[in-house]
Structure formats: C-alpha cells, structure tokens
Amino acid sequence: MSQLAIKGGKPLRDVKANPWPKWPYWDDNDKKALIKVLESGVWSYNGPVEQQFNQAYAEFTGTKYALSVANGTVSIQLALEALGIGLGDEVIVPGLTWQATAATVLDVNAVPILVDVDEETWCIDPVAVERAITSRTKAIIPVHLYGCFADMDAILDLAQKHNLKVIEDCAHKQGAQWKDKKAGSIGIAGSFSFQLSKLMTAGEGGALTTSDDALYEKLDALRNCGRRPEQQIDADKGAGIYTDEGNFIQSGNYRITDFQAAILLEALKRLPQHNQTREKNAVYFNSLLADIPGVLPMRRDERETMEAYYNFSIRYKKDAFKGLSVEVFRQALEKEIGTPVESSYEPLNSCALYTPHTKPWRYKITEQHWRDLDPRRFDLPVCRKVFQEESVCFHHTVLMGTKKDMDLLAEAIQKIYNNVDELL
C-alpha cells in the first residue's frame, strides 16, 4: 500500500482539522480603523491616516521619509524616474526576481541588465554585478529575495566606486536588518510592496523610503501628478507646483487611500511580533534540515541581524532522492502538508511575464536598442539551476504557527525521502 499522500496514502497533516495560519491576518482593530476612516469622510489625498502611516513607516525603517504609493511596482519606477534614469542608461537587476524589478526599468525607457545570483542565497551576485558595469550603468536594484539579503556591503562598495545609485527592492523584507540597519535604509531609496501576499498588506499598496531631502520632494511630486500635496489647491490654479531646477515635471497619480493606510498602520503594529515568530520558526526548521539528506537551508550571512521571510525557501538536491525531479518532490510535499509548495520565480531571460518585445507599437527605437532590451541575450546559469532543479518555496504563513508545525514540515520531507521509490 502507498504511504505518500500523492499516491493515495494518508497526508501527514489533516488541514481541515488543523489548518495553517490564515492570511491575510486581521482582527477587530482593523475593522475599527476602517470604520473610522469611513466615517471621517477623508478617504484619500494625503489624509491624516496616510500621513500618520508615512511617519510611522519612516520611523520603523530608520529613514527620514517614507511615502506610500499605489504598489511596489510604481515605487521602483518612481525611484528610477526621480533619480533621472532614462533613455541611454543601464540598470543592473538580478535575473531571479518578480518581473517588476526589471519591467520598471523598461517603463522609464532604460535598459535592464540581468545578472546572475548567488547559488546559496539566490540574491544578486556582486561579482556578476561588477562584470556587468559599463559607462552607461546608472543604478543597481538588489532584491532581498525570500529569506535572504543581498550582500549590501559589496554592492555599496561597487556603487561608490562607479558612482551608481542603489535602489533596494524590499518587497520581501519589511523589518529585516543588515548589520542592524533596516532593509530600505541602506541604498539611496527603498521600495516596498503591500500586495496581498506580502508581509504587510492592504490588498495593494507600496512605499518608498529615503533619507535624501531632494529625492523625497521629487518622489512626493511624482506620485501626485507633479504637485506637492500641501499645495494641491494652489496647484490646481497653476501655482505652487513642484519644480525641478525650474521645470515642472509631468507625472501620474500613484496615491493610496486612507483606508489602505489605516490597515497598514495596524499591520505595522503586528509586524515585529510576526517577524519574530517567523524568524524563530525558520531558524528551528533549518536546524532540523541538518538531519535530512538532500535538503539545504539557505545560507544565512552573519551580517543579517534580523531576517524577514516573504517566501520561505530551501534548496533541493535530487541526487539524494535517487534523481527525483524537484517538481514531483514539491507536488508530493504539498499533498503531505496541505499548503502550496512552489518553485522560485522564473529567470527573467525566459519569463512569460517579462517580454519587452511585445510592445513594438509603443516606442520607435533603434535596432540596437531593440537588441539591448532582449532578455534572451543574458546568460543566467545559476538562476536557471535554482528555478529548474533546486527551489522549494513556502508562503510565509507556514512560519506563523508553532514549533510543532516545523516538526511536521521536516517530517513530511523525511517521509518523501523514506518512500521515494513510490515516485520513481
């Protein structure tokens, strides 16, 4: 008789009787906060709750400013725009990330340069960054992916040496710390996402952090149609508009609502506790992996003084599982534990959601520029190996329960190991 759930055996976890922690998390405080905004009638436009959130988020991140924006995609786009990056410029991004990290570079009409990642952290490889730097390079966007940090010391060194801007993509990293500095306070700007699956969420939403006065002012205008919020009345009459060296700037509307800000303020209050729970469980689970062949924890750099886990990932080595493919391993594991087990992002040099060439009607650009944008020109062997052979990712909610949940995860992997013959 089969043991493994995927073969008709009994799953290790009965999720009906014993569900995983729910996400999104909310309680009565969120309800009260939402109703308060509703009844106030001030639903948007730099309202009091949004201002309160921006201030709280800046304090939390250890930056002078935080600015809420519509999502964690436009946040990157606005940072690039505010830094004056555009036509003719190159921006270095990791090949293993959500497509927004590179797509926003296209959106400001610059050229994304995809580089490979570190095999043990899946974050941008500083050696690959250095190799990719040219006279046209203007910025680097490290992504602190899943449960790891990009090597910010090495990246800042390169940035300083070559006069490059560093925008941290912190969509996965609310509250994590590198040498006691929070993610988003290390580069010139930090970009955050509050989309539904992230560590703090208002359904949608994003934020930018910076300690640079001039950059903050420009970002504030860029997210608000080129105006300064406190001057919006005058601005409608054509006065008091933000100017950049004497010029008006054209932009769009990337604001959030006070409903979102209210939910985010509540989420921010809970985040440190949630992060601590996840950190404790992750460290414990990783310690259990030492006893199971063929699964490795991600490398934890000692300079990461606090981690945050948007997805929780581990590395799979099929040789220890008699050659069982990682896809089948993930499916079998998912059936045992009753919650999704996924691959990493698809490398951006062959990702269906990152296709610069599908908009030929949008720009009139040279043949050379067209070739420059082609993601297939980048060689990303580590990204490919991670995606195709090694990645096993869980949503962060698996880390929000108990130590027993971690024992069960480890037991599920051991069960597949013990019964791997059923799958071959």
| In contact, 391 and 326? CB cutoff 8 Å | yes
Residue with tokens 């570190």: 118
Q: Which is nearer to ligand PLP, 203 or 381 (CB)?
A: 203
**What's the angle, vertex CA 255, arms to CA 396 and CA 38, rounded to 5?**
85
Among 106, 139, 171, 261, binds ligand PLP (CB under 6 A): 171
Nearest distance in Å: CB 188, ligand PLP: 17
For 305, the 3-state DSSP assignment is strand
Q: Which of residues 113-152 bind ligand PLP (CB under 6 A)?
A: 143
Nearest distance in Å: CB 201, ligand PLP: 9
DSSP tag of 346: P
Q: Which is nearer to ligand PLP, 146 or 242 (CB)?
A: 146
Strand 181-182 to 177-178 pairing: antiparallel
Q: Which is nearer to ligand PLP, 201 or 241 (CB)?
A: 201
Q: Which is nearer to ligand PLP, 126 or 206 (CB)?
A: 206
Angle between helical axes of 48-61 and 28-40 (0-180°, round to 10): 140
269 is catalytic: no
Site string for ligand PLP, 176-215 (x = CB under 6 A): -----------------x-x----------x---------
The catalytic position among 165, 198, 218, 415 is 198
How many of the other CB atoms lie within 10 Å of CB of 368?
7
Size of the site for ligand PLP (CB under 6 A): 14
Strand 206-210 to 243-244 pairing: unpaired
Helix (H) or strand (E) holding 31: helix 28-40
- For 151-219, give the DSSP string: -HHHHHHHHHHHT-EEEEE-TT-TT-EETTEETTSSSSEEEEE--TTSSS-SSS-EEEEE--HHHHHHH
Give residue 270's identity as a one-letter amino acid code: R
| Token pair listed for 360 | 């030929």
Cross-strand bridge partners of residue 68: 207
Q: Which is nearer to ligand PLP, 140 or 171 (CB)?
A: 171
Nearest distance in Å: CB 126, ligand PLP: 18
Q: Which is nearer to ligand PLP, 71 or 185 (CB)?
A: 71
User: For ligand PLP, which residue has the nearest CB?
Assistant: 72
Nearest distance in Å: CB 417, ligand PLP: 31
User: How far is 67 from 210, CA to CA, in rounded Å?
Assistant: 9
Which among 29-37, 70-78, 268-276, 383-391 is the span making contact with ligand PLP, rule CB under 6 A? Answer: 70-78
- Asked if 46 is part of the footprint of ligand PLP (rule: CB under 6 A), the reply reads no
Nearest distance in Å: CB 202, ligand PLP: 10
Q: Which of residues 95-114 bind ligand PLP (CB under 6 A)?
A: 97-98, 100-101
Give contact residues for ligand PLP (rule: CB under 6 A): 71-73, 97-98, 100-101, 143, 169, 171-172, 193, 195, 206
> Which active-site residues does the annotation give?
198
